[in-house]
Structure 1
Amino acid sequence: MEPVQVGVIRDSMLANPLLIRADLGRSRSRAFTLPGKEFVFGKPNVTMDGGVPEVMNHWSTLVPVTHSDSKPRKAGQDFMALNREAVKSGLVTAHEHYQFRATHDLKLRPLKEEARLDRSPPDITFGVHTRPSTPIFDLLEHRYQQRWLEECRSAQKASQAKQQKKTKLGKIYETRTSLLRQSQPSMEPRPLWQLPRFQKVGPHLETFRSAEARKRAFSSHFSDSVARCGLQGQGMYTTS
């Protein structure tokens, strides 16, 4: 069943690939026109080599062509020498250089041509060596997989043995903080600052009868300050 067309169908619609829709089950057309059935693709062979019968009778060999047998090449102009001579003559503009090249002819020196002969040995074989065939029995028996697993196990065992040598049991790993804490010197608290004239003056009043009584009083105050409020432990008692 052909698709239903609505509207005017123009020839330009069949030449624009953006307007062409793909048919169901077919690839989209690219709007290229091909020649008829009588057209022959390819390049015509104008060489008359005789075809298959000529090949069967004798084998044509390639004869190397040397430069001595070829036609002599025409030597081109030596532009470097022409420009150098023109500058020496005082010519600087392009028109003067063009006239100088038209009136002077300096050719390149012919190079020594040597015959390019193939000096390779007669029994040489060109190309890449053929890769040896893979043993099919090793593939069927999964020999390569087993070999790979054994290599992985041996590498893992070697890594574990190396790791066990590094770690020493019974030794605590020291960090930078722990080392600094051990080497930190004990610092005594600095006394409060006083004027030099008051440093050696003793107290005017001694409210405790003895040093032992003073020590017992401060000890009792310290134990009682736990249940009191305030930074100095001299406030109200806490009920909680």
Structure 2
Amino acid sequence: MENERFGVIRDSMESNQLLQKAELGKIKKRCFTLPGSDFTYGLNSFLKEGGVAAAIGQWQTVDPRGTAQQRKLQPHYVALNREAVKSGLVTAAEHQAYRNTHEIWRPVYKGHLHHPAMTFPPGTTFGISTRPSTPIYDLLENKYQHLWIEHQKEERERLRLKSKEKLKRAKMQDNHTTILRRYQPQEEPAPLWQLPRFQKIGPHLDTFPSQEARQKAFNAQRSDGIARKGLRGQGIYNIS
């Protein structure tokens, strides 16, 4: 099914992946040279166990290790030195002579040569405790779903009562005592600094004929400033 080629077809083309064409229903060739049919892939097994017949005919055993009685006893130098000191020997020669004439061996344990066997109280269980069985009847009855729904209802009711209590506290009327507790008197700002020679000098210009006329003018300005713009109510009228 390959298309027609022009020119000379050389054997080296078979080793060039770029010159290979995809055939219908087959993957593209990678141009790798593979060994013959007698080649074995993987690792060779050099073990010769004999197969099933050898396994049935004999039983492979492991030689046991030497027991504690077969081990060579070792002298207990700490105990020998202690007993030599108790006998009144202090020099190295006297200690060496005491070791040569006395025998105190290190105790041999069955489990290990240097450490005694560990003892455990009766009824001790080793490992991880067994996982409890799954309550299949509770799963079939959707018990956990019902418990979760009841828990959500209780939580919702608790939040509702809590919010209701907050609203009840907020609606409490203030009395004279609560107002006085929250009242904080404002501090009067400090007066602007002036030179001492200008503190007792009065104004040189007074455009009002009397103090009553001054007060009336300020009251009129204050009442009219509601409809005016500006910070002090002295701007244009607000008609919007």
Instruction: Name the TM-score class by shorter chain.
Output: 0.3 to 0.5
TM (norm. structure 1) is 0.40
TM (norm. structure 2) is 0.40
